[in-house]
Chain A
Amino acid sequence: GQQLNQSPQSMFIQEGEDVSMNCTSSSIFNTWLWYKQDPGEGPVLLIALYKAGELTSNGRLTAQFGITRKDSFLNISASIPSDVGIYFCAGLKTNTGNQFYFGTGTSLTVIP
């Protein structure tokens, strides 16, 4: 299957700090998505990116669809305790039957 390399694997940060995580692949994707999973819950969509170069914000979150279509990053500004969770990137290839491929996740811990 396709491999999405997501980094870092985990982060421990102080409340108020900014966070940056990214996802890279050797393959081209048509859509990049960022999800957050809270403990005991399913992943919830944060941001969807549909065009190369697109930069989209959702509150304190900003994500970009890389120009090469092989990467994406997610930034969280001024982190708060409720940002704790696992963040997953996902890429969609529409030429392979609308299949989504996921990264390994970034576990974020925010220290108050």
Chain B
Amino acid sequence: EAGVTQFPSHSVIEKGQTVTLRCDPISGHDNLYWYRRVMGKEIKFLLHFVKESKQDESGMPNNRFLAERTGGTYSTLKVQPAELEDSGVYFCASSHQGGELFFGEGSRLTVL
């Protein structure tokens, strides 16, 4: 069974540019989460989808971040325009009915 996959693994962009991260959860997992870790800090919650609906987006930093999960399958997280403080590792995770979280390998974003 395929795990959670994320793309790209690493993205380097300039301030003001746009980046879109993609996450494919484990098949059948209704719950999909986006997290971000800035070096040395905690893994911080961004938002939670249940199927295609946003269950909780209280962790989204500001309106430069837009997450979608059309059709309840894969999800995208777009940052537009990117700022320096957006740099970090963005993790996607999925779970089945509130069970264990399975993480992807993360997408490292570097904003110059």
Contact B100 A33 (CB under 8 A): yes
Chain B 55-68 against A: per-residue CB contact (8 Å), 1 yes, 0 no? Answer: 11011000000000
Contact B100 A42 (CB under 8 A): no
Chain B 4-43 against A: per-residue CB contact (8 Å), 1 yes, 0 no? Answer: 1010000000000000000000000001010100001111
A29 at interface by CB-CB < 8 Å = no
Contact A99 B91 (CB under 8 A): no
B101 at interface by CB-CB < 8 Å = yes
CB B75 to nearest CB in A, in angstroms, measures 15
- B42's contact among A4, A96, A97, by CB below 8 Å, is which? A4
Q: What count of chain A residues pass the 8 Å CB interface test? A: 26
What would 18 A/B residue contacts be, using CB atoms closer than 8 Å? A1-B44, A41-B105, A41-B106, A42-B91, A42-B104, A42-B105, A43-B43, A45-B101, A97-B56, A98-B31, A98-B48, A99-B45, A99-B56, A100-B33, A100-B45, A102-B42, A102-B43, A105-B43
CB B107 to nearest CB in A, in angstroms, measures 10
CB A101 to nearest CB in B, in angstroms, measures 7
A94 to B104: give the CA distance in the assembly, Å. 22
Q: What count of chain B residues pass the 8 Å CB interface test? A: 27
A40 at interface by CB-CB < 8 Å = yes
Contact A92 B45 (CB under 8 A): no
A45 to B91: give the CA distance in the assembly, Å. 14
Instruction: Scan residues 60-112 of chain B and give those whose CB is less than 8 A from a CB of chain A.
Output: 91, 93, 95, 98, 100-106
Chain A, residue nearest B89 (CB): A42
A21 at interface by CB-CB < 8 Å = no
CB A110 to nearest CB in B, in angstroms, measures 20
